[in-house]
Amino acid sequence: MAAVDEFLKILVATALLVPATLLPIINPLAGAPIFLSVTGGDDALARVMARRVAINCFFLLVGALLIGGYVLDFFGLSIPIVRVAGGLVVASAGWRMLNDTGQDAVQRSVADSTAAMSEVEIAKRSFMPMSFPLTVGPGTIAATIALGSRRPEPQQALSLIPQAAGAIVGLVLAVAAIYLTYRYSGPLLKKLGETGTMVLMRLAAFILLCIGIEILWSGVAELIRNR
């Protein structure tokens, strides 16, 4: 019974950590106005494109989570270094979001170029640039690799199963949030209003900054222990 409780504890903790870390970086609310302009307010197109974007993002994140660390190992990069780098990227993204006063250049470019696009061209853009880099960008991939680098110690190898299961559940939750935000971007932005959206984004940015510092510190602490 104790083993089952421990399994569920690790699974739930990991399933909550993954979306808590990734969603502030992904920040689907920031991408919602761009998505709305891409679909032109067409509800049927929004439904199809939101599903495609969600599926694309899921596979991008699963790839970064499961094999990103091994790719870095291939290049001789240690896990603590990955955590330090990932923590810096996440913390800097949070700091930038806290001080952001508008859209970045990529978002403005996409928003400005969608007016003359046909539905076929919009469908092709469900991956590039809507899925990558506007939704899952370099910062999100770096954070996902950092999360995947949290491998248990040899004596805790059994915890790898609930960690992996929890990570997949967490990715599903994160992708579901992306889908729902994009799918209902029109009504959502209208209900939140400009002030509500700004408050929510600033809160998410602060949480992201704290998570980035935590990831950074875990890497620094391991480097110090291994000296």
Q: What are the boundaries of each domain within the chain?
A: 2-225
Q: What is the DSSP letter of 226?
A: T
For residue 173, give the H/E element and its range: helix 160-183
- Averaged over 43-54, what is the pLDDT? 88
Is the separation of the CB atoms in 219 and 80 below 8 Å? yes
**DSSP output for 21-66:** HHHHHH-HHHHHHHHHHHHTT-HHHHHHHHHHHHHHHHHHHHHHHH
Model confidence, pTM? 0.72
Asked if pLDDT for residue 123 goes beyond 90, the answer is no
Share the mean pLDDT of the chain.
Answer: 79
**CA proximity to 83, closest of 68, 101, 103:** 68
